Structure 1
Amino acid sequence: MYARILMLFTGILCLQTAFAQESQYQYLSGTDKDHTVNWDFYCSGGRQSGRWTTIPVPSNWEQQGFGSYNYGHDKEKADEQGVYRCQFTAPENWRERHVDIVFEGVMTDAEVKINGKLAGPIHQGGFYQFRYDISKLLHNGSNQLEVKVSKMSANASVNRAERNGDFWVLGGIYRPVYLEVKPVVHINRVAINAGANGQFTVHAYTTALSAGYSITSEVQTMSGRPLKEPVSIQGNNTGVYTLHQSFDKPATWSAEAPNRYQAVITIKKGSQTIHRITQPFGFRTVEIRPHDGIYVNNVKVIFKGVNRHSAWPETGRTLSKAISIEDVNLMKDMNMNAVRMSHYPPDVHFLDVCDSLGLFVLDELTGWQAAYDTIVGHKLVRELVERDVNHPSVIAWDNGNEGGFNRALDGDYAMHDPQQRPVLHPWERYNGVDTKHYPNFNYLVNASLYDQDIYLPTEFMHGLYDGGMGAGLADFWDRMLMHPRGAGGFLWAFADEGLVRTDKNGIIDTDGNHAPDGIVGPHREKEGSFYTIREIWSPVHITLAAIPANFNGLLPVENRYDYTSLSQCRFGWQLLKFTSPGKKEKADTLASGTITAPELAPHTKGFLSLQLPEGWREADALLVTAWDNHGRQIITRSWPLQLPANVEQLFTATGGKVNVVTNNDTMAVDNGKATYYFSSSSGHLLHILTPKGKISLGGGPVLAGVSQQLKEFKAGNDADAFVVWARYDGNGFLYVKWTFQPGVPAKLDYSYSIKGEAPYMGITFRYPEEKVTGLSWQGEGPYRVWKNRLQGNLFGSWYKAYNNTVTGESWVYPEFKGYHANVYQATFHTTEQPITFYTGNAGTFLQVFKPAPPKGAANNNTNPAFPEGDIGFLNAISPIGTKFQDAAQMGPESQNNSMLNYTPVKETIWIDIP
């Protein structure tokens, strides 16, 4: 309905403005996924084929229940055709106008007819905007548009470059269709080159302007205020005009300060305005300095980027500006400053948002490991550049991907781009830039020591399932910053490319392990890596691991911005007090305040001075938050201010005594709150019994992952307590001491040592997973961690309900199972009774069961080692790898754990039955 009203309004406007100065736009389709118009439709094969019906436009027809699904790797693909028809009205005064029909994107070959006559050659290529002049094909009044769309192209190279790519193969008119109505004498397009030095040039492509016509350029602020007097050129019977001006110190465009202006280009005949267009742009200069780096506005830039597919589960590649805004904001929230278009040009509104909010963009010609032929490639490069040339966010062109380079096209970009942006070949060395994909850590070390090329991996840290991206990024990023010619890199990928399958009862399909590679899920659900990346890539970089005893309020900080002083940011602190973990996160703010922003230039170090009140050490945690000069929260860091050992002060023994009953192999110890049952043959806890019933915690403590034998088991009174001892030998040793006092939680002291390397170290217990309903804990959260992904969580009081999420195969986040960091206390909510554990040492990892391996995994790189136990208290945990590399190749944090001597680890936990 929205689009029909817009179409009617625009048509009336055109009738009333026969000599309108601005171009007029009449949408024949809807404008996005949420605003569509039904056209008549016929599908030649697959579902709902062989009959005329209707379909929303724009859309991918598979998502509307037509045709068949294919992923690019499928050897056999459906070769359907869709025929579209719609009626529209052309007012009589359009005889005096120039009318183009514009398609923003059609997959894949499009034959366009107006009133039964071809509008022009069949367009081939599914990701590009194209147009036809239909002025002479229109009838006064009613007209018919017919579009025959072939999902597979008649051009084999188009199929190789697009349809065989590592992404979903979809069909249809999936981006908007509209009529652009202009005067007969008009401006076709403009291409602007506005440098950081204030030099401004606009190339205006027009119909031939004879004597008496002039063309004028005026640069304005975005609110319409002219910067200076316009410049003008007289018509000379050509169709290309170049206008130039110089501006003194304009506000430049960058990802940190996306300052924009607009150019108003006007054709006049005498004093009469014939046609006028307004084009936003930014003053911005990009250059590759060989053996040095990539500079934007004479500043060497470190790109913190990600690859993005254009996809939404319900609508495929038919998106909306609202999604573009959401995606760019999510990237900015991760402190990213760049995005690569993988592996095709995006919707134009995505680039508009990158322009306005600030992201550097690599714009890419499709070519996934195979290139277009030269004939069709020339056309598609031109369509790509002519559409996107004026976006200041676009700082380079990618001529294909991973071998999909038609080198005969490399020179084409400069033909259409007066800015002469760099051309890259993602995956190879080209133009002085090494863009190698998925380097391991050793490659990065060697490149930083010996390589003379600029290093900019256009894909790295592959994010299949929960692996990659955040995991290992700290090591990679530190090494990248040490690289004298490092230019940053682009993570793979932003979002899981999951489609709602209309042929499979609406399941979300990621084609096995081909598409669940995102930091966020198909509907932008945040994985743990989201917050890890946010912390590692924060331009306000704070490395303090713990608040020292002599802390004087000075917090070390580094400014990792490229352009911005920290004096432009805002800072604040909070002191928190936690309640006991319940079914909701709970913290009270004891005090808060602001921090004076320091005068720190980019890439310099200094201190944040916290003016904390008297008694600040009585709080449970300190939080520090930074906001940028646009008000966006950059980062929050937290530090516990208490030690978990203080837990012992919470408990006071009551009167009475501990009762002990021995029966054959079983010893029962009753401390007045619960009875703990032990096996004298294994030394393990068997279960716990309270007046409310049985608690099935048992099978431990076991030294995780180590085969051992019980060497000694004994029990007896010790002062005012009853003590149970067990000693185990094998590959290392484990010593266990249980202490029971009346009315006090059971205390477990243990010490152990392990010989050599191990993926994890600590003790575990057994508990039936099916009896657990939730977990509340005090510690770092709310996401699980890996050894090589510890950043991003906050110390606090957390709760999450049980789920069985496998990252990238289901999307209820945070995942319930896994390792949790720096846990002080944890309560497992169960169908039996709650069980609460308290830890005695900072840095304890809590194991919560064992995540199921992804069904689509082709290897174990993203299925890290876990102890066989269900609930564990660990001092070391396993790292995670990526789709292409096991963890050991990903840097120091990703190595196995090793005890270099035989000094035992000593720990304490308490078990309480509330």
Structure 2
Amino acid sequence: MSVPLRTAVDYVEDVSPGSGTLPPRAWYASSDATSLSLNGDWLFRLSPAAGAEDDSFAREGFDPDGWARIAVPGHWVLQGHGSPVYTNHRYPFPVDPPRVPTENPTGDHLRVFDLPPHWPDRSDGEAVLRFEGVESCARVWLNGTELGTFKGSRLPHEFAVGRLLKTVGNVLAVRVHQWSAGSYLEDQDQWWLPGIFRDVTLSHRPVDGVRDFFVHAGYDHRTDTGTLRVDSAVPGRVTVPGLGIDVPTGEPVTVPVEPWSAEVPRLYEGVLATGGERVPLRIGFRTVEVSDGLLRVNGRPVLFKGVNRHEWHPERGRALDPATMREDVLLMKRHNVNAVRTSHYPPHPAFLDLCDEYGLWVIDECDLETHGFTEAGWRDNPVDDDRWTPALLDRAARMVERDKNHPSVVLWSLGNEAGTGRGLTAMAEWIHGRDPSRPVHYEGDPDCRDTDVYARMYAGHAEVERIGRGLDGGPRRRRRLPFLLCEYAHAMGNGPGGLAEYQRLFESYERLQGGFVWEWIDHGIAHPELGYAYGGDFGEELHDGNFVCDGLLFPDRRPSPGLVEYRKVIEPVGITGDGTDGTVRVTNRYDVADLSALAFSWSYQVDGETVASGPLPVPPLAPGESADVTLPVPPHDAPAGEAHWLVRAALAADTAWADGGHVVAWGQFPASERTAPHVTATARPRTGDGVLTLGPGTFDARTGALVAVGDAAVDGLRLDVWRAPTDNDEGAAWQSDPRCGPLWRGIGLHRMRHRLDAVEIGEDALTVRTRVAPAGRELGLSTVYRWTSDGDRLRLTVCVLPEGDWTVPLPRLGIRFGLHTVDRVRWFGGGPGEAYPDTRMAAAVGRWQSTVDGMQTPYVRPQENGARIDVRWAELGGLRVEGDPLFLLTARRWTTEQLDAAAHRTDLVPGDTVWVNLDHAHHGIGSQSCGPGPLPRHHLRPRPAEFSFVFSPLPSRSPGV
């Protein structure tokens, strides 16, 4: 009988969570016990395969001559050793669980360290070596002795090492494999980035020191009291000076308190003291429950205005420093985000400290996703295989035990897109038993057998409304639970569209308790030649392209237009009015806070400029309350013109997350009618020398093409219906709805041809008749350009009539032309940033200006961008353009075709011509890169249309003006 030979890498394919580690416990950042950070420079050697090198590097006396140095925390593939790999859900290795390829990049790490002076003697307790996160599988030695192995990349693991420590010359050796059985549980729509990417710490654990503890701090909203009980593995005392509490561990005490919430994150400072250690506590009193079909915190239903957050830095990957984590939280608070789903794993524990401090509701998600098994119909899915259940339970326990003392965590999530199975049920049962104070979430449980909330991804508006109205059917248990969109509004590239319509649904139906936009940040990797790299830019055999760039922040953490739009849509104060009755309606949309922390102001604007302003007294409305507030009388000496009221709600004083004066909400509404531009056709066309003149316009007499307005040369003015498809236009392969981008290309809208049918010179007009159509199709657009002038201004009226059987919407409808010597653009209309029909809530009417370069939105993959909406007039390149009706304005130093062809921003090379689009309309944006497309009312259907523009030459200006 043959006996299989076991090798040193068998543990890589073992489905168990590991060996030799200590039981999980609560995390705390500091105590009076001694600790030593082992972060910093480590010696490093990369091998191409598991087992390619022996274990001699872990022995004392090993000479690492020639080894490289890398930073820990860090990923070796981002430090010049190998390359990152991006896949959405397909595993980048053969699916043969629990086996992984022999070609398994393996990083050996060495760290030599001395104990600091006054390190406690071994007799005074134990020493613990802690790893906060290692991807994906690690084997650990200290001073030549193997400590054990572990999997669970984004979870902590500890080893007892006191007996092995020396005063000087300690050698810590860690072997990390990129792939392991654990990789099958971590298929989380992300870059695969191996390495020791979170902190490594050595801590002294005193005799009778704090080991594990559980802070139970509930709140009774009926009595405004909190009940505190701290259970501790080692008996001790709990003191909270601000509440006069001094009790033994395990003993409950009830006192009057202020509750913790995301809006008012009240924390009480305390201390847990045992015989050997003192640990600081930050206690937030709050109670989470599902009752009467709603998720309630402290007795009140909450509305999540959330984001999904992968941890990301464009240079360091998931190795985040405290400053970056704090920047994320501050950006969320300043953009009215109140909730985070930690997709799809527990974050660095310090991030949850920040959520406690600044105030964010958190869905804490387990380090689990097996999405790649969907390719085989979920056959062999680990969560339905009993062999894997211990590993699943280990991951659940390490999350709950680490994070259980954070008041910001209001739901536990079993994981993401892992199908269904017995393992998930076991996890839910364990979590419910260990921490019944928090509900359990998991989107992939359609019957809600194991969960306490009904969660979905990317449901369209109509379906969400049916759910809100209770018309969705399904199991009785599910119909009695609150509903969350744990992912919606896919923020990939230009978009997402439809946010305002979703929010109106959330605010209209009590059962709909909000959602979490996918996702927080683009995962572009900083690249010296490409700007930011995405899937496929590192030569991956299997990848999912720029699907990894789907965030509300650009990789450098600049807010995208999508985040600016989301901020406006979810603002916590509603400010509405029609400007005619002298009042404004103010509504408090907070869940908990009143409006006493806000200062309101008004301004009266004429033609986009403020002519008067002042404070606006608003009562401190309670959550859900509204009041009609009287506006002042418009100033009697205000100039004539188009007038608007603008009302702002700003912080009245500095807060922890923003300075006083930070605007949290605003509303704008018209106070007078707009006067459309009018041109009386009095000038007559004149011909000579091959040109035709009409007022300030010069035309080619043969083709009727405009060549100049005054001194401003104009190139190639013609109808334009094409836009460089957005990620949402292109759509995801699994979307069932027709996808605009592919269909637009399929019928040839990207290669329209223009046929000149007639040039007609009348008494007071020049009329050019054309047909615009794609090659190979019978479809077309009969297009007539009619030019008139009053001598000083030139009016163009465009009439468009569809011909043939049009079955798809148009990308855009307007005119395009080229200008020279354009640097700055001024306009009166929506701004300051881009906006489209279903992404327009954040566009305020005003006078704005920008450079041409500043009008571009730097999406990682170039696509349609930069339109300014509701433009009345614009000035650029020696021209003033007025629209009737309002129009969308775009100006670029490259053509739409060049924008369409670019894969990265570095592919866009500015030319000498600025290409201007004046659009009558655009197709909506939607979020069909993963979610639903634009709502039907935002479809640009081919139908008869007429629109006009008035061109005037601008007076010459001195240089620099």
TM-score, normalising length: structure 2: 0.76
- How many angstroms apart in 2 are the aligned matches of 1:754 and 1:605? 48
Match of 1:561 in 2: 590
Distance of aligned partners of 1:693 and 1:876 in 2 relative to their CA distance in 1, 3 Å threshold? closer
- How many angstroms apart in 1 are the aligned matches of 2:851 and 2:347? 37
Is residue 159 of structure 1 aligned with residue 193 of structure 2? no
**Aligned residue identity for 2:254:** S
Match of 1:40 in 2: 43
Match of 1:839 in 2: 883
Is residue 891 of structure 1 aligned with residue 935 of structure 2? yes
Q: What residue ranges of structure 1 are gaps of 5+ in the alignment? A: 1-20, 31-36, 208-213, 233-240, 269-273, 579-586, 858-868
**Aligned residue identity for 1:393:** S
Q: Does the CA contact (< 8 Å) of 1:306 and 1:491 recur in 2? A: yes
- How many angstroms apart in 1 are the aligned matches of 2:597 and 2:37? 46
Deviation (angstroms), 1:795: 1.9
Give 1:258's match in structure 2, choosing from 265, 272, 280: 265
- How many angstroms apart in 1 are the aligned matches of 2:167 and 2:364? 41
Give 2:718's match in structure 1, choosing from 699, 708, 713: 699
Give 1:798's match in structure 2, choosing from 849, 865, 868: 849
**Aligned residue identity for 2:456:** K
Match of 1:604 in 2: 625
Is residue 439 of structure 1 aligned with residue 482 of structure 2? no
Deviation (angstroms), 1:611: 2.2
Is residue 109 of structure 1 aligned with residue 137 of structure 2? yes
What's the CA shift string for 1:729-785, capped at 9, x where partnerless? 99887665433344x122335566669988459964442489765533221123322
- How many angstroms apart in 2 are the aligned matches of 1:816 and 1:886? 19
- How many angstroms apart in 1 are the aligned matches of 2:307 and 2:350? 18
Distance of aligned partners of 1:23 and 1:284 in 2 relative to their CA distance in 1, 3 Å threshold? same
Match of 2:534 in 1: 509
Deviation (angstroms), 1:635: 2.2
Deviation (angstroms), 1:102: 1.7
Distance of aligned partners of 1:893 and 1:321 in 2 relative to their CA distance in 1, 3 Å threshold? farther
Match of 2:25 in 1: none
Q: Does the CA contact (< 8 Å) of 1:520 and 1:526 recur in 2? A: yes
Distance of aligned partners of 1:670 and 1:770 in 2 relative to their CA distance in 1, 3 Å threshold? closer
Task: Compare 619-628 and 428-437 and name the one that shifted more.
Answer: 619-628
**Aligned residue identity for 1:595:** L
Deviation (angstroms), 1:382: 1.9
Q: Does the CA contact (< 8 Å) of 1:499 and 1:510 recur in 2? A: no
Distance of aligned partners of 1:753 and 1:780 in 2 relative to their CA distance in 1, 3 Å threshold? same
Q: Does the CA contact (< 8 Å) of 2:599 and 2:650 recur in 1? A: yes
- How many angstroms apart in 2 are the aligned matches of 1:68 and 1:761? 38
Match of 2:70 in 1: 55
What's the CA shift string for 1:268-308, capped at 9, x where partnerless? 4xxxxx42211112001111226x21111100111111100
- Match of 1:342, SS state, is coil
- How many angstroms apart in 1 are the aligned matches of 2:720 and 2:353? 58
Distance of aligned partners of 1:513 and 1:558 in 2 relative to their CA distance in 1, 3 Å threshold? same
Distance of aligned partners of 1:874 and 1:228 in 2 relative to their CA distance in 1, 3 Å threshold? same
- How many angstroms apart in 2 are the aligned matches of 1:782 and 1:454? 38
Distance of aligned partners of 1:298 and 1:522 in 2 relative to their CA distance in 1, 3 Å threshold? same
Q: Does the CA contact (< 8 Å) of 2:488 and 2:931 recur in 1? A: no
Match of 1:243 in 2: 251
Q: How many residues were matched structurally?
A: 801
Give 2:163's match in structure 1, choosing from 112, 121, 136: 136
Is residue 216 of structure 1 aligned with residue 237 of structure 2? yes
Match of 1:912 in 2: 953
What's the CA shift string for 1:214-264, capped at 9, x where partnerless? 6211224xxxx3x124112xxxxxxxx52211112x111111111111331
Question: RMSD of aligned C-alpha atoms?
Answer: 3.8
- How many angstroms apart in 2 are the aligned matches of 1:801 and 1:483? 43
Deviation (angstroms), 1:351: 0.8
After TM superposition, the structure 1 = structure 2 runs for residues 579-728 of structure 1, keeping only pairs within 5 Å, are: 589-615=610-636, 618=639, 621-628=644-651, 630=655, 631=660, 632-639=662-669, 645=675, 660-662=686-688, 667-669=691-693, 671=695, 674-679=696-701, 684-688=704-708, 694-699=713-718, 714-717=760-763, 722-725=764-767
Match of 1:428 in 2: 445
Q: Does the CA contact (< 8 Å) of 2:568 and 2:841 recur in 1? A: yes
What's the CA shift string for 1:96-134, capped at 9, x where partnerless? 233212222122222222221233x31211101122222
Give 1:386's match in structure 2, choosing from 401, 421, 427: 401
- How many angstroms apart in 2 are the aligned matches of 1:54 and 1:716? 79
Q: Does the CA contact (< 8 Å) of 1:434 and 1:455 recur in 2? A: yes
Q: Does the CA contact (< 8 Å) of 1:462 and 1:884 recur in 2? A: yes
- Match of 1:187, SS state, is coil
Q: Give the share of equivalent positions with the same residue, in percent.
A: 25
Give 2:564's match in structure 1, choosing from 528, 531, 551: 531
Task: Compare 338-347 and 281-290 and name the one that shifted more.
Answer: 281-290
- How many angstroms apart in 1 are the aligned matches of 2:339 and 2:712? 57
- Match of 1:100, SS state, is strand
**Aligned residue identity for 2:888:** F
After TM superposition, the structure 1 = structure 2 runs for residues 167-186 of structure 1, keeping only pairs within 5 Å, are: 167-186=190-209
- Match of 2:491, SS state, is coil
Distance of aligned partners of 1:892 and 1:314 in 2 relative to their CA distance in 1, 3 Å threshold? same
- Match of 2:876, SS state, is strand
- Match of 1:785, SS state, is coil
**Aligned residue identity for 2:614:** G
Deviation (angstroms), 1:333: 2.4
Q: Does the CA contact (< 8 Å) of 1:187 and 1:204 recur in 2? A: no
Q: Does the CA contact (< 8 Å) of 1:558 and 1:606 recur in 2? A: yes
Distance of aligned partners of 1:700 and 1:316 in 2 relative to their CA distance in 1, 3 Å threshold? closer
Deviation (angstroms), 1:392: 0.7
Match of 2:35 in 1: 26
Task: Compare 904-913 and 704-713 and name the one that shifted more.
Answer: 704-713
Match of 1:776 in 2: 826
- How many angstroms apart in 1 are the aligned matches of 2:681 and 2:754? 35
Match of 1:866 in 2: none
What's the CA shift string for 1:184-238, capped at 9, x where partnerless? 111112211111123434344335xxxxxx6211224xxxx3x124112xxxxxx
What's the CA shift string for 1:487-545, capped at 9, x where partnerless? 1111111111112358x78743355132111111111122211121111111112344x
Q: Does the CA contact (< 8 Å) of 1:283 and 1:392 recur in 2? A: yes
- How many angstroms apart in 2 are the aligned matches of 1:693 and 1:908? 16
**Aligned residue identity for 2:491:** G
Q: Does the CA contact (< 8 Å) of 1:103 and 1:176 recur in 2? A: yes
What's the CA shift string for 1:305-354, capped at 9, x where partnerless? 11000010110111122111211122222212111001111111211111
**Aligned residue identity for 2:188:** G
- How many angstroms apart in 2 are the aligned matches of 1:763 and 1:377? 54
Q: Does the CA contact (< 8 Å) of 2:260 and 2:284 recur in 1? A: yes
Q: Does the CA contact (< 8 Å) of 1:448 and 1:484 recur in 2? A: yes
Q: Does the CA contact (< 8 Å) of 2:576 and 2:667 recur in 1? A: no
Match of 1:824 in 2: 872
Match of 1:584 in 2: none
What's the CA shift string for 1:338-382, capped at 9, x where partnerless? 110011111112111111111100111122235562222222222
Task: Compare 701-710 and 587-596 and name the one that shifted more.
Answer: 701-710
Distance of aligned partners of 1:660 and 1:435 in 2 relative to their CA distance in 1, 3 Å threshold? same
After TM superposition, the structure 1 = structure 2 runs for residues 164-313 of structure 1, keeping only pairs within 5 Å, are: 164-197=187-220, 198-207=225-234, 215-220=236-241, 225=242, 227-232=243-248, 242-248=250-256, 250-268=257-275, 274-289=276-291, 292-313=293-314
- How many angstroms apart in 2 are the aligned matches of 1:709 and 1:219? 82
- Match of 1:344, SS state, is coil
Match of 2:600 in 1: 571
Q: Does the CA contact (< 8 Å) of 2:43 and 2:110 recur in 1? A: yes
Deviation (angstroms), 1:816: 8.3
Deviation (angstroms), 1:703: 13
- How many angstroms apart in 2 are the aligned matches of 1:395 and 1:386? 14
- Match of 2:350, SS state, is helix
Q: Does the CA contact (< 8 Å) of 1:302 and 1:562 recur in 2? A: yes
